Structure 1
């Protein structure tokens, strides 16, 4: 029997629940930083310059947009620096969305800063807007580096647009986004040498140095230091590789002192396998079995080079981990009805949750969406959960509907919320867990909300980037 069927207590039971005040504290802190930079701008004569009109007003507006852009850019770095407190408070899905929104906002504020500052410096004897910009780049200290940083950030923003993202492989997209760190770093000399608001007062200098130091420290500590320490401590190695069906492969990993790895069922790690060239590229894979403390299991779909490499892993191959991440967990579950909706490979984290959650027989329902019988994974394990723990397993098979829907085409005429209510009549009183592709997950979330599920009882994880 696989690890899912073992009766041992789950590792997640030892971890404390995330305090409810953490998300509010994080949001307030982000808002306070914007208030601080605005106050520093006011203290440096920003309001007086705005009211004076003319070029001074334009320059003052350019300074303010530059300050906001810099602050949001550093907040963006902090959002994705994998700070455990932030990860536990918000989860990767929400952080990724905020990271994207903050990135676009900081970029357009940066563009406004460049345009306004250049316009404010353009005088009667200047060679025009473009000429003034060219002169600033070549003559002002730090501006060449700032220009290179701006180009790096522009490349990151362009590749973040949905249309461009779909044309890139995950590995290429991830590599390009590392240039955001270069953009942030290259902007610092410009602020040090020519940034009036950076050096206007001791308070301003202390604030900006602190924010830069915290951002750099968070990246070094939580993107590099903590993953390296956990990888060295637990020394994960591939124990065996098991085909699960057409295009699906499970990897079982053992290691040292895995019972102390702070992971919950439903979470994922960024994985690097030391199997040859290309090992530096990390890939996010969820645990597909409950982490009981003696081994971990991930299951990967054969999509591109990464899936093929996973299927070819040899026993004994070392693995490096970064994580755990994600809030598709049972940390707030205290019993009662559970409804899980899975699509395709999205069933993997829900399998690990089925082994951890303390539901009673008959309280759990898994609705599994797949295109056909041959794409159903872990059928034997699901049968075990049905027989031994009383889980209702419902398969929804068939091609996609012609409209956005979580249902297959042959069932889509029922209406998404109506169909969900028929399959799980107690849906409004349940803890609901949803995992699958982005469009499908969005449709399933909408159906659950329309069926009466409270927002705090609806937990999702997107299989997208």
Structure 2
């Protein structure tokens, strides 16, 4: 089943000697990060209790607790997407994005509970109606107008983060709306400083919360703004060449200064901004499609909308700003077993780069593509098959049914074992649409691969 196509066409490749790979992050750091996050929530509850949080009217007390937990989760949510390099390397951005999403929804629900409990509790104590008490809280208490505006902005972000709403939005629109979350956080939290009993009545509480706020702000400024700006200025990346790979897909070669100082691994991605005119400020995530070599990087982009379409029209010499690298779908995941790489569509970009880093003579690549003519990197992959013995299988044809990862004609029981007889002893890397990867994951688990030997990363926003 290992099919070889025509000889390579002499396509340009990144020049230079490949750099040694970065060491893998320590797995123990995963547990440490989780412990730190859990300890912040425990500290918020402990300070609430020590400061007499359970005293007085029960609903008001519960309202203060839910408000503190909402604030803590809101800050953790910011930290999850602060692009901290070590955290990104340990967990991968798709996992951090899932936690960010879960934390955001949890924080928002706790914030709504805080508003409801505080309002009803205060209304009961003052013997007033609930709506009147809510209006008095907003109009008369310090910082509450700002908190109301912040809550409305956060509600906007939450609504547009629901999957059904996201599907109706362009990536550029969703990304711009999502940035309002920072303004919402900045407006929603200060009222605690002015009116919250955990701030006004306890020096320890003030020290703790100010430290948490400062850490969140400093981390975002450093890693979301400072580090990307410094790297962009220092490395001076410019477009060198744009090469058509297949219908609707191009590769962009970028040359820069001292790229060996970038902590990159094959399989990672950057957020890119190209200074080619209006709209340059919106970043788009594109994966390296070749292992880093010399002072040249390569990304490969499929035309999926406004931002990616602009990439196809880039001119040589265009300046590029980069943020990253991000992602954990790298050879650092390897346990030394023979690799099985499975890709669909433009997901081949990460797999193509991984083939450079893994450098395993017994690697097998299953490439799901509608037709051979649409295969990206066809000549490169065929050359790797001949030169290094990479087992290359093109899975060609239309999808046979919903939920299947195989094309019509190959979607039969036992096909995975037929394609890769030793699949159970291998280690798998997946890249493609999320639903397709889920189907492959199910098939690999049924074939005997433990979950710890199946690596994937979702790049869907």
Q: TM-score, normalised by structure 2?
A: 0.95
The aligned counterpart of 2:459 is: 463
The aligned counterpart of 1:426 is: 422
Distance in 1, matches of 2:291 and 2:150, equals 44
Which residues of 2 match residues 447-458 of structure 1 at below 5 A?
A: 447-458=443-454
Question: Is residue 380 of structure 1 aligned with residue 364 of structure 2?
Answer: no
The aligned counterpart of 1:444 is: 440
The aligned counterpart of 1:342 is: 343
Contact 1:337 1:426 in 2 (8 A): no
Structure 2: tracts of 5 or more residues without a match = 1-9
Which residues of 2 match residues 81-160 of structure 1 at below 5 A?
A: 81-123=82-124, 126-160=127-161
Contact 2:15 2:294 in 1 (8 A): no
Distance in 1, matches of 2:240 and 2:269, equals 19
The aligned counterpart of 2:61 is: 60
The aligned counterpart of 1:177 is: 178
Question: Is residue 365 of structure 1 aligned with residue 364 of structure 2?
Answer: yes
Distance in 2, matches of 1:214 and 1:121, equals 33
Distance in 2, matches of 1:406 and 1:105, equals 34
Distance in 2, matches of 1:31 and 1:238, equals 44
Residue 188 (structure 1) shift: 2.8
Distance in 1, matches of 2:59 and 2:336, equals 59
3-state SS of paired residue (2:88): helix
Contact 2:271 2:285 in 1 (8 A): yes
Larger relative helix fraction: 1
Contact 1:137 1:143 in 2 (8 A): yes
The aligned counterpart of 1:294 is: 295
Structure 1 81/424 Cα, relative in aligned 2: closer, same or farther at 3 Å?
Answer: same
Distance in 2, matches of 1:106 and 1:75, equals 10
**Higher RCO (C-alpha 8 Å, min separation 6):** 2
Residue 336 (structure 1) shift: 3.5
Distance in 2, matches of 1:5 and 1:233, equals 20
The aligned counterpart of 2:5 is: none
CA displacement, residues 60-93 of structure 1 (integer Å, 9 cap, x when unaligned):
1111111110000000000000001110110001
3-state SS of paired residue (2:435): helix
Contact 2:265 2:292 in 1 (8 A): yes
The CA RMSD measured in Å over matched residues stands at: 1.6
Question: Is residue 41 of structure 1 aligned with residue 42 of structure 2?
Answer: no
Structure 1 198/446 Cα, relative in aligned 2: closer, same or farther at 3 Å?
Answer: farther
CA displacement, residues 95-142 of structure 1 (integer Å, 9 cap, x when unaligned):
000000000000000000000000000137654212211111011110
Distance in 2, matches of 1:8 and 1:338, equals 23
Which residues of 2 match residues 68-83 of structure 1 at below 5 A?
A: 68-83=69-84
The aligned counterpart of 2:394 is: 395
Distance in 1, matches of 2:368 and 2:200, equals 58
Structure 1 88/284 Cα, relative in aligned 2: closer, same or farther at 3 Å?
Answer: same
Distance in 1, matches of 2:304 and 2:133, equals 50
3-state SS of paired residue (1:444): helix
CA displacement, residues 341-393 of structure 1 (integer Å, 9 cap, x when unaligned):
10100000110111121312xx1110011122232111100111101110111
Distance in 1, matches of 2:30 and 2:445, equals 22
Q: List structure 1 runs of 4+ shifted beyond 4 angstroms.
A: 1-7, 124-127
Contact 1:238 1:314 in 2 (8 A): yes
Question: Is residue 166 of structure 1 aligned with residue 175 of structure 2?
Answer: no
Distance in 1, matches of 2:441 and 2:201, equals 49
Distance in 2, matches of 1:411 and 1:186, equals 56
3-state SS of paired residue (1:411): coil
3-state SS of paired residue (1:265): coil
Distance in 2, matches of 1:188 and 1:444, equals 44
Residue 4 (structure 1) shift: 5.9
CA displacement, residues 280-324 of structure 1 (integer Å, 9 cap, x when unaligned):
000000001111122000010011111221111010000000000
| Pairs aligned (count) | 452
Distance in 2, matches of 1:422 and 1:408, equals 15
Structure 1 389/6 Cα, relative in aligned 2: closer, same or farther at 3 Å?
Answer: farther
The aligned counterpart of 2:22 is: 15
3-state SS of paired residue (1:183): helix
Residue 398 (structure 1) shift: 1.9
The aligned counterpart of 1:196 is: 197
3-state SS of paired residue (2:428): strand
Question: Is residue 404 of structure 1 aligned with residue 423 of structure 2?
Answer: no
